[in-house]
Structure 1
Amino acid sequence: MRGEHCIMGATIMSAIAIILLVFAHIGQIASGALVNSIHMMEVNVASYGNGYQGANNKSAGGLYDSKNDQLGTGKGLRQYYRYGLYNACAYQKDGSGICNSSTFAYPAEPLSQILADTPSKFQTETNNVIKNIKPEPTFGDDGYNHAMTRGGSALIFVGSVLAAAALIFGVIKLRISFLAAAICSGAGAFLLMIGAALWTAVIAKDNFVNTVKVRSGASLGINVYAGPSLYLTWVAFALVTLSCAPYVIACCTYRK
């Protein structure tokens, strides 16, 4: 009975972890109401117009797009840019938005993606005001952001697959299956931890831009925040980690 109880507990924890990971994975696959608030990272540029005016003493009229035009066409900034594991979407204040095409392990490159939406007459000043921040923030380092977020997303995907495999193996009442479940849950937890840590590091470094002031003394108006998907991944990691020990105990005590 000890093995049965261990498996019941491990199965419940694994199942909850998979449900949380499913929500983390579907964030930003579209701009609909179900998934538009689920994201790994948000870049809020709603106040950048004021920061632009303070930094350059020029009007920011025309800086923002209000028609949800295709992203990357220089038609104007959106107020919120949200990044998921497979996609990025941009939203207006009214909640309407548009997304890029889906890509496995979508890389977050906030500066280049913002510049791609910035109308041409604002691009040089926008690039310069960010590049001239001292010390230079990683927010403007596309290579760093690309590598870290793409690697993190790929690891979270593989970790999620292993966590699901652990759940499947765990319901097969064989000692070898319990061993496989323990191995999968241990490896899955490790990969989820590394993937979530990579995203956490990116957000922690990029949000230095939140504190930047322009020469007028006003805030730059670009703010980076962690999203619900990141927290869901960390909770799932904890649950998958906790499920590993019961699988090991079941493997050692189950008699069939």
Structure 2
Amino acid sequence: MRGEVLIGIGSLLSFAALLLLIFSHVGQINTSSVPRGIYMARVNVSGYGAALSIAFLNPIDDLYTSNASAPLQAEAGLRQFYKMGLYSHCGFVNETAGICSNTSAGYQYRPYDHIIGDMTPNYQFYSDAIIVQTTFRNSKYLGSSSRAAYYLILLGTICAALAFFSGLAKHNFTFLLSATFAGISSLFVLVGAAIWTVIIKKSDSINEIIIGTETNPSPLGITVSTGPGLYLCPMWYPVAHTADKLAQKHDVCGSFIKNEIN
């Protein structure tokens, strides 16, 4: 009886993990209430216009659009914030009104490309000159890393499903198979979540950029934050702190090397 109880608990946990992973996959596939609330990362650009106004000492016009249906990546104007999912990203003019990009498997996290594509050419030029030497702009690194993380999380989701269904059959072999799939799923999701944690941490270095003059400095007005989609990945909590420390260590080592070279 005790063994059956433990197996039942294991099946319940496998189902819970599978359910959480499924929710993480539906984030940002459209702007309806559930998907729009689930995202891996959020980029808030609502303060960017005010920061440019302070830096240039001139009003900033036509940087943003208030049209929630304006297409993304068409130089139609910045949205107030962007949410990044596993299959697409969405731009929002407020908390509920927005539009999403086309969905695709292995969608890449390229926050700089996402926002720069919505700006008119003159603001693209200014942004290229202002946003430099930051991982936020390293689209190749962020894109390839997020793509790898996606496939790891996808494989982890598939293994979680196999662990749940194989555990339903009352047979020693299927129980062993279920435990094996559960272990593999945990490993894949663990690594995928760690990669996402690191790239979000490294891209949020843009939060610290200051522009303007020495007498009138201003934050850049672009901030990156982690979304609930990452929290839904089982095993995220034990790796988040470690991944965050690794990202900080990488930044410290990189700064030390640059200083030594200089």
Scaled by the length of structure 1, the TM-score of the pair is 0.88
Greater Cα shift, 119-128 or 47-56: 47-56
**1:20 corresponds to 2:17:** no
**1:45 corresponds to 2:45:** yes
1:195 to 192, 195, 211: 192
Q: How far did 1:236 drift?
A: 7.2
Partner of 1:186: 183
CA contact (8 A) 1:46 1:79 kept: yes
Q: Does the C-alpha gap of structure 1 residues 21 and 236 become closer, same or farther in structure 2, counting only changes over 3 Å? A: farther
Partner of 2:9: 9
- Secondary structure of 1:34's counterpart equals helix
Q: How far did 1:184 drift?
A: 0.5
2:166 to 148, 164, 169: 169
- The letter for the 2-side match of 1:62 is D
Q: Deviations over 1:98-152 (max 9, x none)?
A: 0011100210111111111011121100111101xxxx22101001110111111
Q: How far did 1:74 drift?
A: 0.2
CA contact (8 A) 2:189 2:235 kept: no
CA contact (8 A) 1:64 1:77 kept: yes
Structure 1 stretches of 4+ with a deviation exceeding 4 A read 235-238
Q: How far did 1:16 drift?
A: 1.1
Instruction: Quote the Cα distance in structure 1 between the aligned partners of 2:108 and 2:123.
Output: 24
Give unmatched runs, 5+ long, in structure 1.
239-256
Q: Deviations over 1:174-216 (max 9, x none)?
A: 1111111111100110000000001000111111111111123
Q: Which residues of 2 match residues 1-256 of structure 1 at below 5 A?
A: 1-68=1-68, 69-131=70-132, 136-215=133-212, 216-235=216-235
- The letter for the 1-side match of 2:217 is G
Give unmatched runs, 5+ long, in structure 2.
239-262
CA contact (8 A) 1:43 1:222 kept: yes
* Superposition RMSD in Å: 1.4
- More contact order relative to length (CA 8 Å, sep ≥ 6): 1
Instruction: Quote the Cα distance in structure 1 between the aligned partners of 2:199 and 2:55.
Output: 26
Q: Does the C-alpha gap of structure 1 residues 223 and 234 become closer, same or farther in structure 2, counting only changes over 3 Å? A: farther
- The letter for the 1-side match of 2:232 is L
Partner of 1:245: none
